[in-house]
Amino acid sequence: MTSNTLKLVLVSTPIGHIGSGRGGGVELTITSLIKGLTALGHEVTLVAPEGSEITSNCSQIQVSYVSGKDQESWQHKDYDSDITIPNGGILPKLWERALELGKYADAILNFGYDWLPIWLTERVNLEIYHLISMGNVSAAMHSIVKQISLENQHRLAFHTYRQASDFELNEKPIVVGNGFDLDNYKLQLNKNGSLGWAGRIAPEKGLEDAVKVASALKDKLVVWGLIEDSKYAESIEASVSPGTIDWRGFLPTKQLQKELGACRALINTPKWNEAYGNVVVEAMACGVPVVAYDRGGPGELITSGLTGWLVPPDDINELINATSKVNKIDRRNCRIWVEESASKEKFTNRIVEWISNGIRAKTT
């Protein structure tokens, strides 16, 4: 660490390459953080699966590509599943590379929600930090997080307090929120657009409830996102009259924000303890109020009555009521909240403070 700048190795998720959509919100988090770090003069090396596309200015960072079989996401396995790595898996390869490059860096920052990197924390003489990207979806993860928290909780950070409350921690959690490159999101003030929903099309995201709202209001629901579970998507499509859902697929941020910003509301219906909820903040960055279940991260991101409405989890009638009064929200409030709380600059400062404090604590 030279004065205030850090030399960091960032390790991407082993679930899919950046740009594939399989890594969910983590892909965007890494991209905005890289932009925020390099703007402040920090030195960044990214270790990522081959095929990863980094949209920020690549010339300012080193990218070390690794190839291998994708790791299966923990949230799609049974809670008590064993820790497994496929033959030729990318996870240990990412970490072989990261441990090598980490010898010449101040710290390694892990974005993968996986057991191996967390287990390594206390077994190598390097500063490894973990930004935990999901709640308690696996017994193995719950147990390793608990173990690290006993002696080294400063190596762990979370996106929201609600997410952190899923784990058994020894101390008060470090919560860093998330960050977005706000140059990429334009405020749109028109209040008469469609209803929207965005996210991975998978059961934990609860798309079926948002569809019920659109049906009840005799409206259409525009849906963006990667279809992770096609049987689930088909069953939702079959449950409503044709044309209720307008499937738009997985769009790059630039196009997504343009279409998302034209909505009168985003409906967010998590069925799990959502760690953060990128799409909630991306919608608000465009001025779109969000109507959401008061569950997980979205419950901490939305100020009911100011930037959208929070309703009791799984209460469809309340979701319908709240959606019908969304025009009471001043769209500018949504953008202001994001500028004040979730810009890439604010997020980067929180990350730098977290890691710098950790390094300082070791050397003093």
The neighbour count for residue 185, using CB atoms within 10 Å, is 25
Select 76 or 142, whichever has its Cβ closest to ligand UDP. 76
Interface stretch with ligand UDP, choices 77-85, 274-282, 306-314, 315-323 (CB under 6 A) = 274-282
Stretch that binds ligand UDP, among 31-39, 45-53, 113-121, 250-258 (CB under 6 A): 250-258
How many residues at the interface with ligand UDP, by CB under 6 A?
17
Q: Among 261, 277, 296, 313, indicate the residue that binds ligand UDP (CB under 6 A).
A: 277
24 binds ligand UDP (CB under 6 A): yes
3-class secondary-structure state, position 190:
coil
Contact at 8 Å (CB) between 319 and 206?
Answer: no
Q: Which stretch binds ligand UDP (CB under 6 A): 76-84, 114-122, 247-255, 338-346?
A: 247-255
Under rule CB under 6 A, residue 279 binds ligand UDP: yes
Candidates 74, 113, 276, 293; binder of ligand UDP (CB under 6 A) is: 276
Residues 23-62, buried b or exposed e (16+ Cβ, 10 A)? bbbbbbbbbbbbbbbbeeebbbbbbbbeebebbbeeeebe
Is residue 112 a contact point for ligand UDP (CB under 6 A)? no
Pairwise CA distance, residues 168 & 145, whole Å: 8
Phi-psi region of 249 (alpha: psi -120 to 50; beta: other; left: phi over 0): left
Strands (E), 140-264: 156-158, 195-198, 221-224, 245-249
What does the alpha-carbon distance between residue 139 and residue 136 come to, in Å, rounded to a whole number? Answer: 7
Mapping DSSP onto H, E and C, the string for 8-53 reads: EEEECCCCCCCCCCCCCHHHHHHHHHHHHHHHCCCEEEEEEECCCC
| 111's tokens | 């974005």
* By CB under 6 A, residue 261 contacts ligand UDP: no
Least separation, in Å, of the C-beta of 111 and ligand UDP? Answer: 11
Could you tell me the smallest distance in angstroms from the CB atom of residue 123 to ligand UDP? 28
Counting contacts by CB under 6 A, is residue 288 touching ligand UDP?
no
Query: Contacting ligand UDP (CB under 6 A), which of 95, 113, 167, 224?
Result: 224
Minimum distance from CB of 102 to ligand UDP (Å)?
Answer: 26
Nearest CA among 63, 270, 1 for reference residue 160: 270
As measured in angstroms, the least distance from the Cβ of 151 to ligand UDP is 29
**Residues in touch with ligand UDP (CB under 6 A):** 24-25, 28, 198-200, 224-225, 250-251, 253, 256, 276-279, 282
